[in-house]
């Protein structure tokens, strides 16, 4: 299969649109057989404007009188089975150099007037060559927040050129986001949709689902426009002045790159996640000695340059480090653990960072067919043990039967939750202990053993690079699976899991003595007291420890 790419962006390979085109080509290459690709990078080619002399129709039929690279383009167009037109939207049309190339296709037509099947408008010229079976793809990005309503000029051009419905188009708004490394997660998601579309194009054509995904906004309009405006580093009022007096250099008041960067970060704030009270985040860039405050309120975000607010959270960081984190070159948590930046004051903002500055797609427009992640639930793991410990110490046989029933019913009650290995292991062990006891093993031996087994499970999960047990459950409140990649989150949970493990080893020993004593029926209840305090400690430690690391302690 021969594929020709006509890259009409003056930025050549650095073009935003070209990223989409590349993704689409990758998709096609995965499915199509024996693919050969040729590329015409218009800005590097010598393609002069048409002279309008019609010599290609009269004195030299099929051949243009201008000797430049267009002759090769025509050869390539005839060679290609699929032609991919890739270009930015310029003034609601194609860039000028590309328009020259389009005009210079005249030698490919015959001069006669002819009505063509499915033709729009009044007039057409038949093709000089057999173009049947050839396919056309049009890929373009534009600068406004949406492609909708901006491509009527381009559509009209290709409707006339190829016939309506005879080409496949991908038009994407917010094109400039594709060059922002800080947003590569967001744009990468879009590019994978384009790649998928490329695969489908070769098979049966782009599916309705993919089309729908491709028409989604990358960022909500308000966020995108605030971000785009901030990127120029010019205040609106000054830009107005600049227009009136172009010679007044002072009128064009450029703000520092760091302030522009802070404004862009503030623009990504998602006010729908406002926590009920305003937050003041102070960004202190230690290497450039600049400090800005971002007020996060229910109406949006605002950057203050005069330090007039009282900061709730203060981040002290070299701007280079913060930029690298924003660009995804280093993970924020790793940089924090390495002491590359410090956080002072309220740490809860850091824990919910992605909620506030996630830069994600508009909620209602999130990609629809991504399966929703099921949450884990610690109750699934704990309940069999609790029922076992409380009931068996009161009365062995009914206790064992009740515990077995609890293990059986728990899966039904929590059927919507995702199961962990510890959930499965817990039910299996409790059932095992019950069966062993029902066949005659005394509870004064089995109860301490069960606490021992429970403690060992917690402790084992702290070693050998395993994810500590508590992390499997607490991740739900910290961004799901992603939290498991967060070194600070994992370390906090490792400490907590180890402490819980030790607590249960001690409980095993205490149980041994309680089971020999007169308070034996109350063993389960007595053993529940410490975990209550440990639970309170856990809730406090989960917040305190990361904040301590963030302060650089």
Ligand X SMILES: Cc1cc2nc3c(=O)[nH]c(=O)nc-3n(C[C@H](O)[C@H](O)[C@H](O)COP(=O)(O)O)c2cc1C
Q: Which residues of the shown chain bind ligand X in the complex (CB under 6 A)?
A: 9, 11, 15-18, 88-92, 141-144, 150, 175-176
| Helix, strand, coil share (%) of the chain residues, nearest 5 | 55, 10, 35
For ligand X, the closer of residues 26 and 150 by Cβ is 150
For ligand X, the closer of residues 91 and 415 by Cβ is 91
Backbone phi and psi for residue 2, each to the nearest 5 degrees, phi listed first: -100, 125
Contact 330, 341 (CB under 8 A): no
Q: Cα torsion for 505, 509, 514, 517, to the nearest 10°?
A: 170
Q: Minimum distance from CB of 174 to ligand X (Å)?
A: 8
For ligand X, the closer of residues 6 and 279 by Cβ is 6
For ligand X, the closer of residues 49 and 96 by Cβ is 96
Tokens of 508: 């095993």
Q: Minimum distance from CB of 39 to ligand X (Å)?
A: 14
For ligand X, the closer of residues 55 and 231 by Cβ is 231
Rounded-to-integer distance, Cα 414 and Cα 234, Å: 55
Backbone phi and psi for residue 202, each to the nearest 5 degrees, phi listed first: -70, -40
Q: Find the helix packing angle between 184-203 and 16-31, rounded to 10°.
A: 40
Q: Minimum distance from CB of 88 to ligand X (Å)?
A: 3
Q: Minimum distance from CB of 269 to ligand X (Å)?
A: 24
Tokens of 333: 């948590």
3-state secondary structure of 338: coil
Rounded-to-integer distance, Cα 435 and Cα 429, Å: 10
Contact 254, 234 (CB under 8 A): yes
Rounded-to-integer distance, Cα 213 and Cα 181, Å: 22
For ligand X, the closer of residues 90 and 269 by Cβ is 90
3-state secondary structure of 85: strand
Residue number with the smallest Cβ distance to ligand X:
175
For ligand X, the closer of residues 147 and 469 by Cβ is 147
For ligand X, the closer of residues 172 and 410 by Cβ is 172
Letter string b/e over residues 388-420, b meaning 16 or more CB atoms within 10 A of that residue's CB? bbbbbbeebeebbebbbebbeebeeebeebebb
Contact 38, 2 (CB under 8 A): yes
Q: Minimum distance from CB of 140 to ligand X (Å)?
A: 8
How far, rounded to the nearest angstrom, does the alpha carbon of residue 461 sit from its chain's CA centroid? Answer: 30
- Identify the H or E element spanning 36: strand 36-41
CB atoms within 10 A of CB 34: 6
Q: Partners of 280 in the beta sheet?
A: 295
For ligand X, the closer of residues 15 and 391 by Cβ is 15
Rounded-to-integer distance, Cα 468 and Cα 43, Å: 56
Q: Minimum distance from CB of 52 to ligand X (Å)?
A: 25
DSSP secondary structure code for residue 103 in this structure: H
Letter string b/e over residues 267-290, b meaning 16 or more CB atoms within 10 A of that residue's CB? bbbbeeebeeeebbbbbbbeeeeb
Q: Minimum distance from CB of 362 to ligand X (Å)?
A: 19
Q: Minimum distance from CB of 3 to ligand X (Å)?
A: 19
Cα separations (Å) of 367 from 28, 140, 202, 474?
22, 21, 23, 26
Beta carbons within 8 Å of 211's beta carbon, 6+ residues apart: 197
Q: Minimum distance from CB of 9 to ligand X (Å)?
A: 3
For ligand X, the closer of residues 9 and 476 by Cβ is 9
Q: Minimum distance from CB of 35 to ligand X (Å)?
A: 23
E-assigned strands of 251-368? 279-285, 290-297, 300-304, 313-317, 342-345
For ligand X, the closer of residues 10 and 198 by Cβ is 10
Q: Minimum distance from CB of 21 to ligand X (Å)?
A: 9
Q: Minimum distance from CB of 144 to ligand X (Å)?
A: 4
Classify the phi-psi angles of 534: left when phi > 0, otherwise alpha if psi is within -120 to 50, otherwise beta. alpha
For ligand X, the closer of residues 16 and 264 by Cβ is 16
For ligand X, the closer of residues 91 and 112 by Cβ is 91
Rounded-to-integer distance, Cα 80 and Cα 38, Å: 8
Q: Minimum distance from CB of 95 to ligand X (Å)?
A: 7
């Amino acid at each position: 299969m021969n594929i020709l790419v006509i890259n009409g962006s003056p930025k050549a390979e650095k073009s935003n649109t070209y990223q989409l085109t590349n993704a689409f080509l990758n998709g096609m290459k995965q499915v199509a057989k024996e693919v050969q690709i040729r590329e015409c990078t218009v800005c590097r080619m010598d393609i002069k404007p048409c002279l309008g002399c019609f010599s290609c129709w009269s004195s030299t039929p099929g051949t243009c009188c201008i000797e430049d690279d267009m002759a090769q383009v025509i050869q390539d167009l005839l060679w290609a089975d699929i032609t991919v037109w890739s270009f930015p939207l310029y003034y609601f049309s194609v860039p000028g150099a590309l328009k020259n190339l389009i005009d210079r296709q005249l030698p490919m037509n015959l001069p006669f007037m002819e009505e063509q099947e499915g033709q729009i408008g009044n007039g057409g010229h038949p093709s000089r060559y057999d173009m049947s079976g050839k396919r056309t793809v049009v890929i373009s990005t534009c600068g406004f927040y949406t492609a909708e309503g901006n491509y009527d000029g381009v559509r009209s051009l290709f409707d006339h050129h190829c016939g309506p419905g005879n080409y496949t188009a991908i038009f994407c708004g917010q094109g400039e986001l594709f060059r922002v490394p800080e947003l590569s997660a967001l744009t990468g998601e879009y590019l994978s949709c384009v790649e998928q579309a490329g695969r489908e194009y070769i098979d049966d054509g782009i599916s309705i689902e993919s089309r729908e995904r491709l028409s989604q906004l990358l960022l909500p309009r308000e966020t995108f426009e605030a971000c785009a405006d901030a990127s120029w580093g010019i205040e609106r009022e000054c830009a107005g002045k600049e227009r009136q007096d172009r010679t007044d250099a002072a009128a064009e008041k450029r703000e520092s790159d760091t302030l522009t960067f802070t404004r862009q970060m503030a623009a990504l704030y998602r006010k729908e996640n406002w926590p009920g009270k305003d937050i003041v985040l102070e960004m202190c860039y230690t290497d450039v000695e600049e400090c800005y405050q971002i007020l996060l309120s229910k109406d949006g975000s605002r950057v203050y340059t005069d330090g007039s607010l009282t900061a709730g959270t203060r981040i002290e960081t070299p701007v280079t480090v913060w930029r690298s984190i924003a660009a995804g070159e280093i993970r924020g948590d790793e940089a924090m653990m390495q002491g590359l930046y410090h956080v002072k004051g309220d740490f809860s903002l850091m824990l919910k960072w992605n909620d506030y500055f996630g830069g994600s797609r508009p909620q209602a427009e999130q990609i629809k067919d991504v399966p929703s992640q099921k949450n884990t639930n610690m109750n699934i793991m704990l309940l069999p043990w609790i029922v076992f410990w409380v009931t068996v110490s009161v009365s062995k046989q009914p206790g064992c039967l009740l515990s077995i029933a609890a293990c059986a019913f728990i899966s039904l009650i929590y059927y919507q939750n995702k199961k962990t290995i510890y959930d499965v292991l817990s039910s299996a062990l409790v059932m095992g202990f019950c069966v062993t006891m029902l066949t005659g093993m005394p509870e004064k031996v089995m109860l301490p053993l069960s606490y021992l087994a429970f403690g060992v499970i917690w402790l084992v999960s702290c070693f050998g690079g395993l994810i500590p047990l508590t992390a499997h459950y607490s991740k739900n409140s910290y961004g799901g699976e992603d939290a498991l990649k967060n070194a600070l989150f994992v370390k906090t949970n490792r400490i907590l899991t180890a402490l819980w493990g030790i607590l249960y080893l001690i409980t095993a020993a205490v149980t041994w003595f309680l089971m020999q004593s007169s308070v034996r029926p109350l063993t389960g209840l007595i053993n529940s007291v410490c975990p209550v305090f440990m639970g309170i400690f856990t809730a406090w430690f989960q917040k305190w420890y990361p904040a301590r690391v963030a302060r650089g302690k």
